[in-house]
């Protein structure tokens, strides 16, 4: 397994090795085709996440999507905002 899903409620998975765009990745939440390169330790979407919806890891909210995120897309500071972050 090249990616870990920490909780069944999660909508993101963490890559445990660097993954390439187009790669098919098996996870406990099903097989995902990556739309972008994902560096080791970084996250990709397991489900579609709309702008304003919560991003969930460990079964908890880790932030809010700032734009629509497709399945297999890279999820990080460019499209997620902390609820503690102003602006």
Stretch that binds other proteins, among 2-10, 29-37, 45-53 (CB under 8 A): 2-10
Q: Is 47 in the site for other proteins (CB under 8 A)?
A: no
Stretch that binds other proteins, among 29-37, 45-53, 61-69 (CB under 8 A): 61-69
Q: Is 18 in the site for other proteins (CB under 8 A)?
A: no
Distances in Å between the Cα of 7 and the Cα atoms of 18, 46, 61, 71, 78 are: 21, 12, 12, 17, 23
Query: Which of residues 42, 48, 53, 71 is near other proteins by CB under 8 A?
Result: 42
Helix (H, G, I), strand (E, B) or coil at 62: strand
User: Which 8-state DSSP code applies to residue 51?
Assistant: T
């Amino acid at each position: 397994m090249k990616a870990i899903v920490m909780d069944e409620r999660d909508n993101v998975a963490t890559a445990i090795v660097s993954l390439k765009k187009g790669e098919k990745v098996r996870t406990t939440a099903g097989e995902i085709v990556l739309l972008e390169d994902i560096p080791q330790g970084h996250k990709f979407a397991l489900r579609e996440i709309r702008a304003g919806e919560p991003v969930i890891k460990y079964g908890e909210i880790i932030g809010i999507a700032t734009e629509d995120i497709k399945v297999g897309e890279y999820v990080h500071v460019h499209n997620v905002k902390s609820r503690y972050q102003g602006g």
